């Protein structure tokens, strides 16, 4: 019964709807039939009735949207993200020494190779289109179009280039491929100031500068779940793992080895982050998921069967056990991703590693994601040699 009275339960919405009906009756029926002695008194009563009705209408809309989307699962989540309750690692033990060599990968920093002519100076590279390249000492967000192979389609991607990218034309950088949620957009990460967050962590010697690539995997808020559809009409996974990867490595001074590539995402983008890393360890060595999911859950038409074994991460973890590190951040009152993690975690075995951090409250909200991004990036800088802070940053 307790869930009936939670922000996502039926009781608060029913109470708010009843109050709205009462306010409408008062404003539309009672007040017109009972005039005050003065004109100003009537105007004041009508104004108060209008405001009251408006407030209750907005409350009904807010509760209905929250019930549909599960943003705030408890009343305490309305106060923001709570304190950390638990942090646990299952599977392989996650290394904490940034100098530790990643198995199968050279521990040389990603910048130790020769840049091509188009990689050295992006200002002359037509692949970037028209951009503002003023002030070469600052970091910048740019938007590019990346073709989808085998089709005439192109899709947008937002890219963060670190402050030293233009000034040091021989330096290569690790790459973070980030995914928004649904609804959401690639610009969300600019609003979340992910580039500026990285700058702060670099200044604090928590990680090194990185390129961030945010591909538009949810065009027009269509939930692709970052997969290729069964009928072949949607090829989001192929575009991200093949076309985006090749475009980045061709046009940017990006690390080659998987140890220099990670994924990051929140909500549905968290599923993309974990799924793509688990299915493509040859491309990505780690994933940072903020209240993401571990199981297919289309918000709209399903592009693949929900029980497709190729996308059953429980099975992938048990049978394949890819050599990747996963980091997960969630509030305990964010039921869907929290329960998805609890289902997935028992299947994880070495060399896969899953570190999950649980907050006391916060719901499925931007507050949780905003507080989790710097923590996840710091974890990345602590556990990955390619993202760890160096004197040259």
Burial 59-91 (b: 16+ CB within 10 A, else e): bbeebeebbeebbbbbebbeebbbeeeeeeebb
- Amino acid 142: pLDDT: 96
Give the C-alpha distances (Å, rounded to integers) separating 95 from 101, 109, 207, 382.
10, 17, 15, 8
The pLDDT of 149-172, averaged and rounded, is 94
Q: Using 50, 70 and 90 to split pLDDT, how confident is the model at 186?
A: very high
Q: Which residues contact 116 (CB under 8 A, 6 or more apart)?
A: none
Q: What is the pLDDT of residue 73?
A: 65
Answer whether residue 252 shows pLDDT above 90: yes
- Whether residue 210 contacts residue 198, with contact meaning beta carbons closer than 8 Å, is answered with yes
pLDDT at site 71: 63
Share of the chain above pLDDT 90, in %: 64
Residue 388 lies in a domain: no
**Can you point out the beta strands (E) in 260-352?**
261-266, 286-290, 325-331
Q: Are the C-beta atoms of residues 201 and 381 closer than 8 Å to each other?
A: yes
Q: Do 327 and 367 have their domain in common?
A: yes
Q: Tell whether 260 and 364 lie within a shared domain.
A: yes
For residues 21, 24, 26 and 32, what is the CA-based torsion angle, rounded to 10 degrees?
-150
The range of the structural domain enclosing residue 14 comes to: 2-69
Cis peptide before 117 (omega within 30 of 0): no
In a domain, 115, yes or no: yes
Same domain, 276 and 350: yes
How far is residue 184's CA from residue 356's CA, in Å, rounded to a whole number?
24
Domain boundary among 69, 91, 117: 69
60-119 pLDDT, tens per residue?
Answer: 787 777 676 666 766 666 666 556 667 899 988 876 544 444 433 444 455 557 899 999
Give residue 231's pLDDT band: very low, low, confident or very high (50, 70, 90). very high
Region 147-164 average pLDDT: 96
Q: Identify whether 388 is preceded by a cis peptide bond (ω within 30 of 0).
A: no
Residue 284 has pLDDT above 50, yes or no: yes
Q: What is the pLDDT of residue 81?
A: 54
Are 271 and 244 within one domain? yes
278 within a domain of the structure (yes/no): yes
In this structure, the answer to whether residues 118 and 178 fall within a common structural domain is: yes
Structure tokens at 47: 């104004």
Domain-located, residue 314: yes
In a domain, 391, yes or no: no
Within 8 A by CB and 6+ apart from 220, the residues are none
Task: Indicate if 42 and 97 belong to the same structural domain.
Answer: no
- Judge whether 390 lies within some domain: no
Q: Quick one: 85 and 63 in the same domain?
A: no
Same domain, 23 and 127: no
Average pLDDT over residues 371-388: 95
Q: How much is the pLDDT for 75?
A: 62
Query: Is the residue at 393 inside a domain?
Result: no
Helix or strand run (H / E) with residue 251: helix 245-251
* Last-in-domain residue among 45, 69, 93: 69
Q: How many structural domains compose the chain?
A: 2
Average pLDDT over residues 242-247: 98
Selection from 290, 267, 254, 314 nearest residue 380 by Cα: 290
pLDDT computed for residue 70 by the predictor? 65
Mean pLDDT (whole number) for 128-144? 92
Whole-angstrom distance, CA of residue 177 vs CA of residue 170 = 22
Task: Dump pLDDT digits (tens) for 316-341.
Answer: 999 999 999 999 999 998 989 999 99
Same domain membership, residue 299 and residue 153? yes
CATH number of the domain at 192, please.
3.40.50.1820
Tens digit of each residue's pLDDT (9 = 90 or more) over 44-57 = 778 887 888 888 78
Indicate whether 257 belongs to any domain. yes
> Comparing 363 with 36, which gets the higher pLDDT?
363
Are 123 and 29 part of one and the same domain? no
Q: Are residues 145 and 233 in the same domain?
A: yes
C-beta separation of 253 from 175 below 8 A: no
pTM: 0.82
Report, in angstroms and rounded to the nearest whole number, the Rg of the chain calculated over CA atoms. Answer: 24
83 shares a domain with 60 = no
């Amino acid at each position: 019964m307790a869930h009936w009275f939670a922000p996502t339960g039926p009781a608060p919405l029913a109470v708010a709807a009843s109050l709205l009906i009462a306010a409408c009756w008062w404003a539309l029926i009672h007040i017109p039939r009972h005039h005050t002695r003065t004109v100003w008194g009537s105007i004041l009563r009508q104004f108060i009735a209008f405001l009251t009705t408006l407030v209750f209408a907005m409350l009904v809309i807010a509760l209905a949207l929250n019930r549909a989307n599960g943003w705030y699962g408890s009343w305490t989540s309305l106060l923001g993200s709570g304190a950390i309750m638990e942090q646990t690692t299952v599977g392989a033990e996650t290394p904490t020494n940034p100098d530790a060599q990643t198995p199968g990968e050279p521990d040389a920093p990603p910048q130790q190779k020769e840049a091509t002519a188009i990689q050295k100076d992006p200002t002359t590279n037509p692949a970037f289109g028209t951009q503002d390249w003023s002030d070469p000492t600052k970091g910048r967000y740019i938007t590019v179009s990346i073709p989808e192979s085998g089709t005439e389609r192109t899709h947008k991607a937002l890219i963060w280039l670190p402050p030293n990218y233009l000034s040091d034309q021989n330096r290569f950088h690790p790459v973070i491929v980030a995914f928004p949620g649904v609804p959401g957009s690639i610009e969300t990460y600019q609003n979340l100031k992910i580039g500026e967050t990285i700058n702060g962590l670099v200044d604090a010697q928590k990680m090194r500068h990185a390129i961030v690539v945010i591909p538009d995997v949810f065009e027009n808020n269509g939930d692709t779940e970052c997969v290729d559809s069964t009928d072949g009409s949607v090829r989001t996974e192929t575009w991200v793992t093949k076309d985006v990867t090749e475009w980045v490595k061709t046009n940017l001074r990006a690390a080659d080895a998987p140890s220099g590539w990670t994924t990051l995402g929140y909500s549905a983008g968290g599923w993309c982050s974990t799924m793509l890393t688990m299915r493509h360890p040859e491309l990505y060595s780690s994933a940072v998921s903020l209240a993401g999911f571990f199981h297919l859950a289309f918000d709209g038409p399903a592009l693949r069967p929900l029980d497709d074994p190729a996308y059953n991460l429980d099975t992938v973890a048990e049978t394949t056990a890819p050599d990747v590190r996963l980091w997960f951040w969630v509030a305990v009152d964010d039921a869907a991703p929290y329960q998805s993690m609890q289902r997935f975690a028992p299947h994880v075995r070495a060399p896969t590693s899953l570190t999950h951090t649980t907050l006391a409250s916060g719901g499925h909200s931007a507050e949780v994601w905003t507080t989790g991004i710097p923590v996840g990036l710091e974890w990345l800088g602590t556990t990955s040699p390619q993202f760890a802070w160096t004197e040259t940053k």
